[in-house]
Amino acid sequence: MMNWTKQYPGWTMFGAMLGLLFFLWGLAIPLSAAPAPIGPAAEQFAEGARVTVWLTLIAGSVGVVLGIVAGMGKLSKFLPLRWICDFYVWLIRGTPLLLQIMFVWLALPTIMPEGIELSDFACAAIALSLNIGAYNTECVRAGILAVPHGQVEAAKALGLTPFQTFMDVILPQSLRVALPALANNLASLVKDSSLAYAISVVELTMAGYRVQAESYQPIPVFLTIAAIYLILTTAFTTLTAALEARLDVGQKR
Amino acid sequence: MDNQSPPSQPIIIARNVDKRFGSFYALRGVSASFSEGQVTAIVGPSGSGKSTFLRTLNRLEAHDGGEIIIDGIVLSDDLQHLDAIRREVGMVFQSFNLFSHLTILRNVALAPIRVRKMSRADAEAKALALLDRVGLKNQAHKYPVQLSGGQQQRVAIARALAMDPKVLLFDEPTSALDPEMVNEVLTVMRELAHTGITMLVVTHEMGFAREVADRVIFFDEGVILEDTTPQAFFTNPDHERAQAFLSQVRHGF
Ligand SMILES: Nc1ncnc2c1ncn2[C@@H]1O[C@H](COP(=O)(O)OP(=O)(O)OP(=O)(O)O)[C@@H](O)[C@H]1O
Ligand SMILES: [Mg+2]
């Protein structure tokens, strides 16, 4: 990654976040200046990009929490918990994401209690969270295993509780190891979120598909979408690279 | 009835302590008590159970038989007892085990903040004072990897002292160091020995044992073979195994 993300990680993170926001709010303005078929549909593109980013941010965050919880669970001494987490990862990694999205959309409403309506967007967010969570689980597990045992012993000997030992020592050190892989998963998520189109969530790809269907000009439309995806993935990658640099302190090279 | 008056009450009492790994006995009926302020050198051949004995005293290893009482608290699975004991007993490891993701200052301040619930400002002021005592105040904002082995070990001593322990356990604190760094650590330990803290030091530094220790314990195959003064141990040990050990040490390994 670029050198300045390493030199000024705090600023880069802030900048990438700000850039992402500006991009989202302002996307419609430059696009509307473009010739047909892009210009007239600028607002649709912008709305689609917003949905894509929301899906990514929500599923990305929930996925990290799921990954940490299930990653710990896989290393638990409590056997049933380990089985549950193993089963979760096995199930999600062994089936297509598209199927998982459809399943959540079709099956979840039937088992939800009366009165709770799940929007299509919520279903997509749930399915994507579960999906990236399973992939994160493996990364977090590997990260936890990479923490030297001496670190845990030192924490114990100082009188830290198991919870404090986990939060203050094991988690930060294992995330430092797991972060490149987690960042990778997040970059995939930006693109994988496009599968939400299958349950009629109008995210970026779906927005483009509609514009294209109305204008019969697929090439400029898809080029525009590709460009927006590239900008989004670059923003997310910059963000995570800066985070990595921040956590990298004290690491042997 | 125990009629001993409080001042002469030993701070550590081990009675008939057994420790098994599988069917192998690492400790067999070890009994010893240590009075407050005493500095004990623990020596013996490799694999004789020195580390294991030290590690049962703060329950990094759970003993399988016998009884350990520290400052009047019985060491058992009772978590409250364990918390209380770990506050009283600090440990310095052969491989330092500094928290690699934290600065030197945070390494020393962490346990007082978390375990003693000190304010961050107070804990850091205390940490700085301790770092000053081991001659490393100017390194406070570095990370462990940026320090030499000898410096890291001095930080580890400061970190243990930050909990105001009554007992400090050292497991071969100089064995992982380059020869030119051994002395800086021994100097700090020598100064500590005069402060009234109870020290148990597993070491191969016979010079240190002879000069600084009040007492020498010689382990062999999981039992204490000799428990005497440095003077008696180094001039005229009772057991042949101890004589053999000493002549081996004198002639280099
Ligand atoms: N976790 C463990 N599992 C199995 N065996 C162990 C374990 N820890 C120690 N042992 C065995 O117990 C015996 C005593 O080990 P210990 O580490 O206490 O020796 P030591 O006197 O400290 O030796 P050294 O001078 O090499 O450090 C050794 O035979 C060792 O192999
Ligand atoms: Mg040892």
**Tens-place pLDDT, residues A77-119:** 899 999 999 999 999 999 999 999 999 999 888 887 777 788 8
Q: Is the peptide bond before A37 cis (omega within 30 degrees of 0)?
A: yes
Residue type, position A95, single letter: T
Residue type, position A222, single letter: F
User: How much of chain B is helix, strand and coil, in % rounded to 5?
Assistant: 40, 25, 35
The most distant pair of C-alpha atoms in chain B lies apart, rounded to whole Å, by 55
Q: Rounded to an integer, what distance in angstroms lies between the CA atom of residue A23 and that of residue A20?
A: 5
Angle at alpha carbon of residue B141, lines to B137 and B145, rounded to 5°: 100
Question: Does the ipTM surpass 0.85?
Answer: yes
Q: Which residues of A touch B145 (CB under 8 A)?
A: 250-252
CA of B60 to the centre of ligand 1 (A): 13
- Contact flag A249-B91 (C-beta cutoff 8 Å): no
Q: Could you read off the pLDDT of A179-224 as tens digits, one per residue?
A: 889 989 999 999 999 999 889 888 888 888 888 888 888 888 889 8
Interface residues of A toward B, Cβ cutoff 8 Å, are: 148, 150-151, 153-161, 164, 168-169, 172-173, 176, 247, 249-252
Q: Rounded to an integer, what distance in angstroms lies between the CA atom of residue B108 and that of residue B122?
A: 12
Structure tokens at B107: 């390494």
| B42 within 8 A of B201, measured Cβ to Cβ | yes
* Count of all residues that appear for chain A in the document: 253
> What's the rounded mean pLDDT across residues A62-88?
93
Angle at alpha carbon of residue A104, lines to A100 and A108, rounded to 5°: 155
Q: Rounded to an integer, what distance in angstroms lies between the CA atom of residue A9 and that of residue A248?
A: 10
Q: Which residues of B touch A169 (CB under 8 A)?
A: 99, 101
Q: Rounded to an integer, what distance in angstroms lies between the CA atom of residue A249 and that of residue B146?
A: 11
Q: Is B129 on the interface with A (CB under 8 A)?
A: no
Name the more confident of B125 and A108: B125
Q: Which ligand is nearest to the CA of B204?
A: 1
| A9 within 8 A of A247, measured Cβ to Cβ | no
Q: Which helix (H) or strand (E) holds B177?
A: none
Structure tokens at A26: 């302002």
Angle at alpha carbon of residue B194, lines to B189 and B197, rounded to 5°: 80
The most distant pair of C-alpha atoms in chain A lies apart, rounded to whole Å, by 70
- Lowest mean pLDDT: which of A38-47, A101-110, A200-209, B30-39? A38-47
Q: Which residues of A touch B156 (CB under 8 A)?
A: 154
Which segments of B58-214 are extended strands (E)? 65-70, 73-74, 89-92, 167-171, 198-202
User: Is the CA virtual torsion A58, A60, A65, A70 positive or negative?
Assistant: positive
What pLDDT, on a 0 to 100 scale, did the predictor assign at position A95?
Answer: 96
| A68 within 8 A of A140, measured Cβ to Cβ | yes
3-state helix/strand/coil string of A186-204: HHHHHHHHHHHHHHCCCCH
Q: Rounded to an integer, what distance in angstroms lies between the CA atom of residue A50 and that of residue B77?
A: 54
What pLDDT, on a 0 to 100 scale, did the predictor assign at position A4?
Answer: 67
Structure tokens at A78: 């409590």
- Contact flag A158-B160 (C-beta cutoff 8 Å): yes
- With a 6 A CB cut-off, is B99 part of the ligand 1 pocket? no
- Lowest mean pLDDT: which of A132-136, A231-235, B104-108? A231-235
Q: What is the CA radius of gyration of chain B?
A: 18
Nearest by CB: B99 against A159, A169, A247: A169
